[in-house]
A = this chain, B = another copy of it.
Amino acid sequence: MDAITKKIIEFRDERDWKQFHNAKDLAISLTLEASELLENFQWKSSEDAINKNMDQIQDELADVLIYALMLAHDLEIDAEKAILQKLKKNAEKYPVDKFKGTSKKYTEGE
Q: Among residues 53 to 72 in chain A, which have CB atoms less than 8 Å away from a CB atom of chain B?
A: 54, 57-59, 61-66, 68-69, 71-72
A82 to chain B, nearest CB (A): 4
Residues of chain B within 8 A of A100, CB atoms compared: 14-16
Q: On chain A, which size bracket covers the interface?
A: 35 or more
Residue interface mask A1-27, B partner, CB < 8 A = 1: 100100110010011110110111101
Q: Is the interface of A mostly helix, strand, loop or mixed?
A: helix
Residues on A lying within 8 angstroms of B by beta carbon are: 1, 4, 7-8, 11, 14-17, 19-20, 22-25, 27-46, 49-50, 52, 54, 57-59, 61-66, 68-69, 71-72, 75, 77, 79-80, 82-87, 89-91, 94, 96, 99-101, 103, 105-107, 109
